[in-house]
Amino acid sequence: MESLKIRYEATIQCLNTLHYSLEVIKDQRFCEVYEQLRDSIIQRFEYTLDTFWKFLREYPEVKHGANFTIVSPGEVLRTALSLGTINKTEFDLFFDMVKDRNLTSHTYNENLAELIKIHIINYYEILKIVLERIKF
């Protein structure tokens, strides 16, 4: 139980750093460093999503007493959906997050980075909603 609480708190901290970057990039005073801010958003999204799915991997074991051997984000999401931790709409969005996260770590181009940054704004909101709902 303590391990899950630590993971939850780490996930919240990651989400907070992502939120901070999303707020800073709105400030016109930083337009000269826009690309660096965008890239920091993408990096923070990567580690926030990684921390989130690792929290979600442990969640059914503690909350439902289930013993799963889950190793991939896809499996974690399918398990969370089957247990009702997330709904179908959230499941689909999380799968999109995983796809975007994989794109960010395997390739880099300006157009893709800009598109993913736009997606991250929406992803942040769904991460926040789910974490509030399954507060630990």
Distance separating alpha carbons of residues 114 and 44, to the nearest angstrom: 15
> CATH number of the domain that 44 lies in?
1.20.120.330
| Residue labelled with tokens 């994989």 | 102
Total Cβ atoms within 10 A of residue 116: 21
What is residue 63's predicted lDDT score, i.e. its pLDDT?
81
Predicted local distance difference test score (pLDDT) of residue 110: 85
pLDDT in tens, the chain (136 residues): 788 999 999 999 999 999 999 999 888 787 889 889 999 999 999 999 999 999 999 888 888 777 767 778 999 999 999 999 999 999 999 999 999 999 987 667 888 999 999 999 999 999 999 999 998 7
Domains identified in the chain, total number: 1
